[in-house]
């Protein structure tokens, strides 16, 4: 799964990074992050502040859509992407349009973005993409809200914690997938996840040796990666040997 689009070769969470992930057949799914603009529009962006990945400064939540659209979200990565805009969730849904599964991470923290869940779900429903999207969050209350509004859209709980806590929280929100931090994954954790019967997503794996370590635990997992090409190059090399 391409993390923030194919963010190793194009600026993260932009239409360019998502287009590249769509075009590459070896990429199975795409992950993006969303927040709300000051005027309440779901927009695709990772950090809470604008400074690292745009020519703007300050908190995203204090800017309107028009202000955010005027920023350059590409030059920081490479001049060839100069003028790249921050996309809205609606633009990404129109682009992806069910071609690949889209994992939409709600960057919700408590009540930081009031209405983020409902607005996201309304857009997914407007485009009829309920079966092609999964709602992700670290914030399990946010996923509880999603479950109440849209039980039909799958949920992915992002976790760093223990398998015991995990099973409890996964069952509480009837998650179809869990997304685990790669460094915390060991055989015990994998066995517990397999017993729980949920799809297993592992983030963020760019190092082929790390992918081999996790694969050796013997479960089917979906790796989230900034550089998925580094993982399949290794796979090809192993097959040749």
Residue 117 in contact with Ca ion, rule: CB under 5 A: no
Least distance in angstroms from the C-beta of 31 to ligand G3P: 5
Q: Which of 3, 100, 119, 140 is catalytic?
A: 3
Interaction with ligand G3P in 173-232: which residues (CB under 6 A)?
A: 179, 203, 224
Tell me if residue 225 falls in helix, strand or coil: strand
Residue 17 contact, options Ca ion, ligand G3P, none, Cβ 5-8 Å cut-off depending on partner type: none
* Paired tokens of 160: 């760093």
Stretch that binds Ca ion, among 33-41, 108-116, 166-174, 192-200 (CB under 5 A): 33-41
Q: State the minimum distance, in angstroms, from the CB of residue 239 to ligand G3P.
A: 28
* Contact string 69-108 vs Ca ion (x = CB under 5 A): ------------------------------------x---
- Catalytic residue among 1, 11, 15, 46, which? 46
Query: With binding defined as CB under 6 A, does residue 158 bind ligand G3P?
Result: yes
Q: Which of 16, 33, 163, 221 binds ligand G3P (CB under 6 A)?
A: 33
Residue 170: C-alpha distances to residues 80, 164, 218 (Å): 42, 10, 21
Beta strands 42-44 and 30-36 are antiparallel
DSSP string, 78-114: -GGGTTPPPPBHHHHHHHHTTSS-EEEEE---TTTTT
Between residue 52 and residue 111, which ones bind ligand G3P under the rule CB under 6 A? 105
Dihedral-angle region of residue 216 (phi above 0 means left; psi in -120 to 50 means alpha; beta otherwise):
alpha
* 46 belongs to the catalytic site: yes
Tokens of 133: 């999207």
The answer to whether the CB of 100 falls within 8 A of the CB of 28 is yes
Minimal CB distance residue for ligand G3P = 203
Which residues contact residue 118 at a Cβ distance below 8 angstroms, ignoring those fewer than 6 apart? 145, 149
Question: Cβ of residue 179: shortest distance to Ca ion, in angstroms?
Answer: 9
Residue among 9, 212, 34, 24 at smallest CA distance from 133: 34
Residues near Ca ion (CB under 5 A) are 33, 105
Residues near ligand G3P (CB under 6 A) are 3, 31, 33, 46, 105, 136, 158, 179, 203, 224
What residues are labeled active site? Answer: 3, 46
């Amino acid at each position: 799964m391409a993390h923030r689009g194919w963010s190793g070769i194009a600026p993260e969470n932009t239409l360019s990074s998502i287009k590249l992930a769509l075009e590459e057949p070896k990429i199975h799914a795409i992950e993006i992050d969303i927040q709300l603009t000051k005027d309440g529009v779901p927009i695709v962006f990772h950090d809470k502040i604008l400074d690292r990945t745009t020519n703007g400064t300050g908190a995203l939540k204090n800017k309107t859509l028009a202000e955010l659209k005027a920023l350059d979200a590409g030059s920081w990565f490479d001049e060839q992407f100069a003028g790249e805009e921050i996309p809205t969730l609606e633009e990404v849904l129109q682009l992806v349009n069910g071609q690949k599964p889209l994992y939409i991470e709600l960057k919700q923290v408590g009540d930081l973005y009031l209405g983020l869940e409902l607005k996201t779900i309304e857009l997914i429903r407007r485009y009829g993409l309920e079966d092609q999207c999964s709602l992700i969050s670290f914030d399990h209350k946010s996923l509880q809200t999603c479950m109440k509004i849209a039980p039909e859209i799958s949920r992915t709980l992002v976790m760093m914690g223990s398998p015991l806590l995990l099973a409890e929280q996964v069952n509480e929100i009837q998650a179809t997938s869990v997304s685990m931090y790669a460094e915390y994954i060991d055989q015990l954790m994998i066995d517990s996840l397999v017993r729980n019967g949920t799809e297993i997503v592992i983030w963020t794996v760019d190092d082929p040796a790390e992918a081999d370590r996790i694969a050796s635990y013997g479960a089917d997992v979906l790796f989230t990666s900034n550089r998925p090409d580094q993982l399949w190059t290794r796979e090809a090399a192993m097959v040749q040997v």
